[in-house]
Amino acid sequence: MRKSCGLNSGPGRPFNDRRWLLPFLASLLVSVTLFLAAACGLFSPPYLAGDDAFLVDVVSFTDWDDGGAPSQRDSGQSVEPEAKDQLLDDNDNPDNAAVNSDDSDAEPPRLAYLLEGTKGDGLRMRRVLQAIYHPRNQYILHLDLEAPPRERIDLAMYVKGDPMFSQVGNVRVIAKGNLVTYKGPTMVACTLHAVAILLKEGLEWDWFINLSASDYPLMTQDDILHVFSSLPRNLNFIEHMQISGWKRIQRAKPIVLDPGLYLLKKFDLSTTPERRELPTSFKLYTGSAWIMLTKSFLEYCIWGWDNLPRTLLIWS
C-alpha cells in the first residue's frame, strides 16, 4: 500500500507537496483498518454482550412469536437457555404452560370490578357499567353516603330492571353507602369491603379492578379477557415508585385525619401538626391509582394472619 502511494507522488513533484503525505497515509491506514474491522464484525453490538434485560426481551419475542426471524434466533441462541431459566424463575407457577402455549385453548379469566361513585354519579356509573359489562365478570357498585338515597335506589332499580344483569346475576349494588374521602383511609376501607364481599360470596374471579365513575375503558371486555387469557393468573399489576427524600418526610410523617370516619358529610383530608415515625418493617411506595390485583393476593390481604388491611389503613 505504501509503495503504490509512493509511486503516485512520483519523484518529479515539488518537495513541499510531500508534507501532507505522512498524515494522509496514517489516517488512510486507520480508516482502512476500521473499515475492515467493521466489515468482519469485530465490533458486535454491545447490548448482545451485556444487558440481560434486553436479552430477555429478545428471547421472549422468539418464544412467543413462533417462527421469529432466523437472524434474531441466531444472535440470541447462545444465551437462550440462561434467559429462559430467568423467565421461568420469575413466574414459578403452573400457569407457565399457558404462557408458552397457543392461547386459543386457555380459558379466559374472570374479572371482578368495583365501581365507586358519589353524589351525581348515578348516570355515569350506568354508562361505565354498560361499557365494562361481560357475563363472565363480577361487578360491585358503591354509591357513597354523600349521594342521596334516591340515587342509590334508582341505580339498584336500574340493575334489577335490566334483563341481562338480572338473569346472569353478576351485578351487585351496595345498599348501604359508606362515606368515602378521596385518597383517604375510608377509600381503602371501601375497596377492602368490596373485596370482602366478593370473597365471602364465594364468587369466581381471577383479578380485581377498582374504577370510579369517571373512568371509561379503552378496550372492549372481550379483547381484555382475550389478552389476559394467556397470562399467568398470579401477576399483580401495580405501577409504583419508592418514596424517598423530602417526599417521604412530607407524605408519610404527618398524621392524616379522614373526616369520613366521624362526620356524615364530605370534607377533604386534613393533617395534624404532630408527626409519626416512619415504619421500619416495610417500605413505603407511591404509584398509580389504577391497579389490577390477583385473587390470591387479596385473600392474603383480607384473611392473612398479619392483619395487613389495618396496616394499609394506617399508612394510606
Residues that bind ligand NAG (CB under 6 A): 116, 187-188, 191, 210-212, 215, 289-290
Distance (Å, whole) CA 209 – CA 134: 14
Report whether 149 contacts 195 (CB < 8 A). no
- For residue 42, give Cα distances in angstroms to 9, 26, 30, 199, 201: 34, 21, 15, 60, 64
With respect to ligand NAG, which residue has the nearer C-beta, 138 or 210? Answer: 210
Residue 132 to residue 210: CA distance in whole angstroms: 12
Q: Between 79 and 291, whose beta carbon lies closer to ligand NAG?
A: 291
Nearer to ligand NAG by Cβ, of 21 and 196: the residue is 196
Q: How far is the CB of 56 from ligand NAG (least distance, A)?
A: 30
135 or 287: CB nearest ligand NAG: 287
Q: How far is the CB of 186 from ligand NAG (least distance, A)?
A: 9
Listed in sequence order, the residues at least 6 apart from 129 whose beta carbon sits closer than 8 Å to its beta carbon are: 115, 139, 141, 159, 171
* 164 phi/psi in degrees, rounded to 5: -65, -50
Least spacing, CB of residue 237 vs ligand NAG, in Å: 12
Q: How far is the CB of 38 from ligand NAG (least distance, A)?
A: 52
Name the residue nearer to ligand NAG (CB basis): 143 or 187.
187
- Return the H-helix or E-strand segment holding 254: strand 254-257
Residue nearest to ligand NAG (CB): 289
Nearest residue (CB) to ligand NAG, 84 versus 119: 119
- Report how far apart, in Å, the C-alpha atoms of 141 and of each of 58, 137, 176, 214, 262 are: 42, 13, 11, 13, 23
How far apart CA 301 and CA 235 sit, in angstroms, is 15
* Min CB(188)–ligand NAG separation in Å: 4
In the complex, minimum distance from the CB of residue 153 to ligand NAG, in angstroms, rounded to a whole number? 23
The one-letter amino acid code at 220 reads T
